[in-house]
Amino acid sequence: METVRFIAANLPLIGQKTLEHLSIVGVAVTIAILTGVPIGILITQSKPAADRVLYVAAIIMTIPSIALFGLLIPILSLVGQGIGWLPAVIALILYSQLPIIRNTYTAIMNIDPALREAARGMGMTPFERLRRVEIPLALPVIVNGVRNAVVLGIAIGAIATYIGAGGLGTFISRGITQTDIRQLLTGALAVSLLAIVADYALIAVRRLLTSPGLRI
């Protein structure tokens, strides 16, 4: 009950922290899509390259987020950005690579070879093949990778408050240090809710991007 009252009293602050949170995750995942999808497509050309890239991406995934933030501090201090928004975004870009690259790669590799053969035989260039056939067919799976990345990013973004990046994690960290259950719950609820809403929004995006011919 007290938590509800706290939430009601702090709505503008919660809104502001949500926007901060979204700006970190949104920017990070957008950049991750712009890098991960081309990498995922590129590595379909070479199995050894694919194995190596996916291995590295998986290793990055296993680095605890706190440790990664810590690692980024000395590096980014060189440009005076050791803490705050930038390291948070960079860390999330790195974490998002695995789900996006992996899903792009798997989706393209799983396309029926007969379709590729038909496309080649009809005289499509590799680029036309990607644009007209492979990417449209892979899109639903790629969007699922993005969903993974976004949910993951929202969760890890909550920890970025420890390097001064703000966001909804602020409520959680304050809740812990001040042993204030209201703030802790507010932060936790807001993060979960944001993750759920974002996921449903992306399901809608996936629907929009999927050709009706694939839904049947």
Q: Which residues bind another protein (CB under 8 A)?
A: 112, 114-115, 117-125, 128, 132-133, 136-137, 211-214, 216
Return all residues near 166 (Cβ < 8 A) that are at least 6 apart.
Answer: 17, 20, 21, 85, 160
Closest to another protein by CB, 119 vs 142, is 119
Closest to another protein by CB, 139 vs 156, is 139
Smallest gap from Cβ 125 to another protein, in A, equals: 6
Closest to another protein by CB, 178 vs 211, is 211
Closest to another protein by CB, 118 vs 201, is 118
Smallest gap from Cβ 147 to another protein, in A, equals: 20
Cα gap 197→181, rounded to integer Å = 24
DSSP 44-64: GG-HHHHHHHHHHHHHHHHS-
Smallest gap from Cβ 130 to another protein, in A, equals: 13
Cα gap 33→38, rounded to integer Å = 8
Give, in degrees to the nearest 5, the angle at Cα 127 between 121 and 129: 40
Smallest gap from Cβ 132 to another protein, in A, equals: 7
Cα gap 199→213, rounded to integer Å = 23
In the numeric block, which tokens belong to residue 170? 């602020």
From the list 129, 121, 101, 122, the residue with the least C-alpha distance to 43 is 101
Cα gap 54→44, rounded to integer Å = 11
Smallest gap from Cβ 213 to another protein, in A, equals: 3
Closest to another protein by CB, 26 vs 140, is 140
